[in-house]
């Protein structure tokens, strides 16, 4: 791909991530060697792919809108659905439908905030059953967060005892890790190894088939009493679009793409927000003084008994600063979702060929010393001005940028604030004695904490 027609960034063979001195999270996933301060582009080879890491300026202005034709994406979704589809009519239709339904049945409803608050009560009551004893919070957070997305997609929530749905969520989480395994990288570079009966890529394919079968049955159930053009949730709205376009041979609406889209929306709506909250809990237990400041603000603005409300967010700058620092510091999706150029383009003087895989290195943006003082220190006050008021930062882009930025950003922000404040309003969080966890994240398509135990004691 690097022919003489194209001036590509000078680069090198793949490098070992640099080790940072103060942040165990940074040590685990830095890909910023040679990018310190400048966020310069860097060429790496991935089989037959040329990958260009774009950060900051390039990310803001020239972020590509396509998806790379990786063998993994082709195998799992045939480049259909929503997340992995090529830029064009199919992606445009599915993106528009998803945005509209998330607004109509989710954050655009005046009552939806109340539904999140109701779920937070289920969540807190489940925590209460442990009576301050050590437990792993992961499954409860996952169930609570996924239920918010479930309300939009299926029009219903699932109980925390629903083992079948919980198993599906666990498979999703496992596939997020498997997708970043060496076996899958090899499969993307040399797809012929797919014929081999072993390897983590085979486990990923098996998991995906099980999930698709489950989603097919679930879609059939929730659409049984559907009334045409009177949608109750995303499934109904999608089926309405299928009906309206049934005579259009170019339509991309199909049962297969519906299943792919639902699976992708569940992953996107659950995995990232869940892990942000898990990191937030970990850091509150790790830094009890920060936890105390948040609780003091909660007590002052909300009080001990009233349910937190979004209208109070503007009165809680320190809480907002803490959540933003968790998002910055933990970099849940450090490399975003891979993009690809849809045509030959020029970025900062470099000619980038059509079809080039482009990695938006959000890690380098969030740890760039030109924009963040001591970026490897967890310091919520960096988001406060001299008067203690919350301030936005231009170099803060956890939800990515461009046409394919996270469509659930507004919903995620609602969930993070309401779940986080309600949790700290009711409980004091600490680690079991001698139980400070390993802070090095588990590497995957997302960065999640290592399993850890927490004690949630009534305040």
Measured in degrees and rounded to the nearest 5, phi and psi for residue 179 equal -65, -20
455 annotated to bind ligand:
no
Measured in degrees and rounded to the nearest 5, phi and psi for residue 339 equal -110, 175
> Token pair for residue 367?
């740890």
Assess contact for 25 and 12: CB atoms under 8 A.
Answer: no
> Token pair for residue 102?
């998330």
Residue 374: which residues within 8 A CB-CB, separation 6 or more? none
CA pair distance 406, 358, nearest whole angstrom: 17
Q: Which residue has the tokens 């498979």?
A: 171
Q: What is the DSSP letter of 378?
A: -
b/e per residue, 135-159, with b = 16+ CB within 10 A?
bebbebbbbbbbbbbbbbbbbebbe
Three-state secondary structure call for residue 68: coil
CA pair distance 160, 147, nearest whole angstrom: 10
b/e per residue, 305-330, with b = 16+ CB within 10 A?
eebbeeebbeebbbbbbbbbbbbbbb
Helix axes 255-286, 317-330, angle to 10 degrees: 110
Q: What is the DSSP letter of 106?
A: I
Measured in degrees and rounded to the nearest 5, phi and psi for residue 136 equal -90, 120
CA pair distance 340, 343, nearest whole angstrom: 9
Q: CB atoms < 10 A from the CB of 296, how many?
A: 11
Q: Which residue has the tokens 């002052």?
A: 300
CA pair distance 250, 189, nearest whole angstrom: 31
Residue 236: which residues within 8 A CB-CB, separation 6 or more? 155, 223, 226, 230
- Residues at the binding site for heme are 406
| Residues in the annotated binding site | 406
């Amino acid at each position: 791909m690097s022919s003489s027609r194209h001036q590509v960034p000078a680069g090198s063979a793949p490098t070992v991530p640099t080790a940072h001195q103060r942040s165990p999270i940074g040590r685990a996933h830095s890909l910023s060697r040679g990018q310190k301060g400048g966020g310069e582009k860097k060429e790496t080879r991935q089989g037959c792919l040329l990958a260009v890491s774009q950060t900051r300026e390039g990310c803001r202005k020239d972020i590509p809108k396509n998806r790379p034709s990786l063998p993994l994406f082709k195998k799992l979704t045939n480049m259909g659905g929503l997340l992995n589809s090529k830029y064009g009519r199919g992606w445009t239709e599915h993106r528009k439908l998803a945005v509209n339904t998330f607004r109509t049945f989710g954050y655009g409803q005046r009552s939806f905030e109340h539904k999140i608050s109701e779920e937070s009560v289920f969540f807190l009551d489940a925590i209460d059953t442990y009576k301050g004893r050590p437990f792993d919070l992961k499954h409860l957070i996952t169930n609570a967060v996924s239920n918010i997305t479930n309300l939009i997609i299926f029009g219903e929530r699932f109980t925390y005892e629903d083992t079948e749905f919980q198993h599906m969520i666990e498979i999703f989480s496992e596939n997020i890790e498997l997708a970043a395994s060496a076996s899958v990288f090899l499969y993307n570079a040399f797809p012929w190894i797919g014929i081999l009966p072993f390897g983590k890529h085979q486990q990923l394919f098996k998991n995906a088939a099980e999930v698709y079968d489950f989603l097919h049955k679930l879609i059939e159930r929730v659409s049984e009493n559907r009334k045409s053009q009177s949608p109750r949730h995303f499934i109904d709205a999608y089926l309405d679009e299928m009906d309206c376009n049934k005579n259009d041979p170019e339509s991309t609406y199909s049962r297969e793409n519906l299943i792919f889209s639902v699976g992708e929306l569940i992953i996107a709506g659950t995995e990232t927000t869940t892990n942000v909250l898990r990191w937030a809990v970990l850091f509150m237990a790790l830094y009890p003084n920060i936890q105390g400041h948040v609780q003091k603000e909660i007590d002052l603005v909300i009080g001990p008994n009233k349910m937190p409300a979004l209208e109070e967010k503007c009165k809680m700058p320190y809480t907002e600063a803490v959540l933003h620092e968790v998002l910055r510091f933990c970099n849940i999706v450090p490399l975003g979702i891979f993009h690809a150029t849809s045509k030959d383009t020029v970025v900062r003087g470099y000619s980038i060929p059509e079809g080039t895989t482009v990695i938006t290195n959000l890690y380098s943006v969030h740890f760039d010393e030109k924009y963040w003082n001591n970026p490897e220190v967890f310091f919520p006050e960096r988001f406060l001005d001299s008067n203690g008021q919350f301030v936005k930062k231009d170099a803060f882009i956890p939800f990515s940028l461009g046409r394919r930025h996270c469509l659930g950003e507004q919903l995620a922000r609602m969930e993070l604030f309401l779940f986080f404040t309600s949790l700290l309003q009711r409980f004091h969080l600490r680690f079991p004695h001698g139980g400070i966890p390993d802070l090095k994240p588990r590497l995957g398509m997302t960065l999640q904490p290592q399993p850890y135990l927490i004690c949630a004691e009534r305040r």
